[in-house]
Amino acid sequence: MTKTPLDIHTIRRDFPILNREVNGKPLVYLDNAATSQTPQQVIDVIVEYYSSYNANIHRGVHSLSQEATDAYEQARIKIQEHFNAAQSHEIIFSSGTTHSINLVANGFSSLLKKGDEILVSAMEHHSNIVPWQMLCERTGAVLRVIPMNDNGELVMEEYSKLLSPKTKLVFCNHVSNALGTVNPVEQIIEEAHKIGAAVLLDGAQAAPHIKADMQQLDVDFYTVSAHKMCGPTGVGILYGKEEWLNKLPPYQGGGEMIAEVTFEKTTYADLPHKFEAGTPNICGGIAFGAALDYMNAIGFEAIAKYEHELLEYATSALLKIEDLKIFGTAKEKTTVISFNIEGIHPYDIGVILDKLGIAVRTGHHCAQPIMDFFKIPGTVRASFSFYNTKEEVDVLVAGVKRAKTMLQ
């Protein structure tokens, strides 16, 4: 196996939380699919904002407001460049992926009619199911589901059959949060565009591992949360092609999103402000830019290579445990391993692992249809980031073995 080019131990020193103990044990943090940890370089940017130039942005003539505005808009440009959007105004700041998806779903309420069809995949997070169900209730559109197979891969032949002139929208996660599957999004987009349908990709789980290129993908909408990418919670972005963002009505009314207001009529601001009503998470947006700087300095190719090593190492080690089954065995995966041990509830394993200082996620991972497909109540999910180590994988494996001994 090729030696990783990353200096993991130097990288780990950037993350203060990795030095703490949980229940008297060194923390082994393996819940990165829920939220990643934050490096000191990003924490410093947050502290600097509140210490040095905390002010509301846009329209302010005083120096602090101008400094904050410049930093916030510079972060938007960093995000545009990272995701290779054609224009910075195609980057809409939001509170995260869920907010972004709801923004698009709300906008399409005025564009759909009864009998139109929208497609979602069988492996979606609830935030990429519920808004579309609500949209169907409002418009009379019909929700159809792209099925998956026992490996946790979409059945693309069935996807092709589902597409028709009635299909107006296709929604799919780039990477499954519950299984780690990397979906064939290029094919999904290409086939949808052939019949005139728009495509939204939920990029929350992909963005920490894959540097997605909006122009190369030719996707219509893409959503991301900063807290999955070493940034703060409560901030994310919606990328949308300019032509689509201009078609959608504003999601919320208030300050910032207007051009002119009278009691008779209001006209709306140009992009991106049309969708950014109210005072935004200014510090969060600036810190998101800093988090992208941090990850890009390490390099996404190096991150992907090292994380693939971790995935292979952890998968091999866990499969040596008798009665352990991994759910999600797609050929293309990111560093998510969902597993169960026969006869043991995943929650019980998670509790014992926590006593050993090991943080994993248990349950349905906001993806109940996946659990229903496999006829299980949930899984234990270990999800890795570039700051995790093979030694931590060994601790996890030892912990699972101990939990198995105690619970069987």
C-alpha–C-alpha distance, residues 400 and 113, integer Å: 51
Strand partners, 338: 327, 381
Q: 203: closest CA among 356, 82, 23, 381? A: 82
Asked if 37 contacts 389 with a C-beta cutoff of 8 angstroms, the reply is no
Longest dimension (CA), the chain: 72
230 torsion bin: left (phi>0), alpha (psi -120 to 50), beta (else) = left
| 215, amino acid identity | Q
Catalytic residue status for 230: no
Backbone angles phi, psi at 359, to 5 degrees: -95, 110
In terms of residues, how long is the chain? 408
Q: Is the dihedral of CA 339, 343, 346, 352 positive or negative?
A: negative
Pull the structure tokens for residue 97.
Answer: 């992926």
Catalytic residue among 136, 172, 230, 366, which?
A: 366
Helices 390-407, 346-355: crossing angle, 10 deg rounding: 120
Residue whose entry in the numeric block shows the structure tokens 């009691």:
263
| Cα 263 to chain centroid, rounded | 40
C-alpha–C-alpha distance, residues 407 and 124, integer Å: 31
Provide the annotated active-site residues: 366
